[in-house]
Amino acid sequence: MSTITTWSDEAITAKIRDIAKTTFGMDLPDSSQPIKDSGLDSLALIDIVMGLEETFGCQLPLERLPANPTINDFVALAQASLAER
């Protein structure tokens, strides 16, 4: 029997910020500001996705993210992917 854990938007946001802090030593901008504004590049965004995939146990398709995603975009992608499993 598998247990499905639900994640609030706030919890996902906190996880994204934690990944950025522990992996890159960076604080991310406001949730509605593009993450790249903090100086992270496209490879860093992939690291964030991989950290989220490991946490949630599901795939987060990068092609669903806009070119310059915000934390809110990552949260929406994570919620959609969690809802699909």
> What is the residue extent of each domain of the chain?
9-84
Tell me the per-residue pLDDT of 6-15, one tens digit each, with 9 for 90 and over.
Answer: 899 999 999 9
Contact 13, 31 (CB under 8 A): yes
Contacts 24+ apart (CB under 8 A), 51-60: 51/15, 51/19, 51/23, 52/12, 52/15, 52/16, 52/19, 52/78, 55/15, 56/7, 56/81, 56/82, 57/85, 58/82, 58/84, 58/85
Q: What is the pTM of this model?
A: 0.89
pLDDT tens digit sequence for 27-50: 998 999 999 999 999 899 999 999
pLDDT the model gives residue 1: 44
Q: In the predicted model, what is the mean pLDDT of the chain? A: 91
As a CATH number, domain 9-84 is 1.10.1200.10
